[in-house]
């Protein structure tokens, strides 16, 4: 297994991950900045991810992160994935929001929101202070009105 997993996963998006085996990459590298994402409705009111979508913030961030990594590889860009052009990040955000909406546990509740917006929050330590920088990176709207309650 010690050789099989690294070999088998060497060309995958996540080398070292082959459930239930893992190289446990979480928190293996600390950098002087990081980020997370959150989801709001189109009026920027935050949505409780676990309650409405049955998803966790951590999983939404991982999904967004993965899309950014793939877009960065595809575009051959040399900037960090969180600093990709807003247009590129928008593409990733829209894909994540569509995935989130499609797999939501409470479909009617999600569609009643009219749309979703993904926000990226950068966290950095500068000049002795922690700073946060929030950017709305992408949104989707639901074309069909919510189904009437039975």
Footprint of another protein on this chain (CB under 8 A)?
12-14, 16-36, 38-39, 46, 48-51, 56-63, 66-67, 96, 99, 103, 105, 121, 123-125, 128-130, 132
19 or 76, CB closer to another protein? 19
Least Å distance, CB 71 to another protein, is 13
Helix (H, G, I), strand (E, B) or coil at 51: helix
20 or 76, CB closer to another protein? 20
Least Å distance, CB 20 to another protein, is 4
14 or 73, CB closer to another protein? 14
Least Å distance, CB 83 to another protein, is 16
Radius of gyration of the chain (CA): 18
62 or 111, CB closer to another protein? 62
Residues 6/7/9/15 CA torsion (nearest 10 deg):
40
DSSP state of 19: T
Least Å distance, CB 77 to another protein, is 21
One DSSP character per residue, 84-120 reads S-HHHHHHHHHHHHHHHHHT-S-HHHHHHT-EEEEEE
């Amino acid at each position: 297994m010690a050789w099989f997993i690294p070999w088998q996963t060497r060309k995958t998006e996540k080398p070292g991950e082959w459930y239930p085996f893992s190289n446990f990459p979480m928190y293996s590298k600390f950098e002087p900045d990081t980020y997370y994402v959150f989801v709001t409705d189109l009026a920027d009111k935050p949505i409780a991810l676990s309650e409405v979508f049955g998803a966790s913030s951590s999983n939404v961030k991982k999904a967004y992160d993965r899309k950014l990594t793939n877009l960065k590889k595809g575009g051959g860009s040399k900037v960090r994935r969180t600093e990709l052009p807003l247009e590129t990040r928008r593409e990733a955000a829209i894909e994540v929001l569509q995935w989130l909406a499609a797999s939501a546990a409470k479909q009617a509740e999600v569609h009643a929101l009219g749309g979703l917006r993904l926000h990226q929050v950068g966290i950095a330590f500068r000049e002795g202070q922690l700073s946060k920088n929030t950017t709305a990176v992408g949104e989707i709207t639901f074309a069909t009105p919510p189904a009437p309650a039975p």
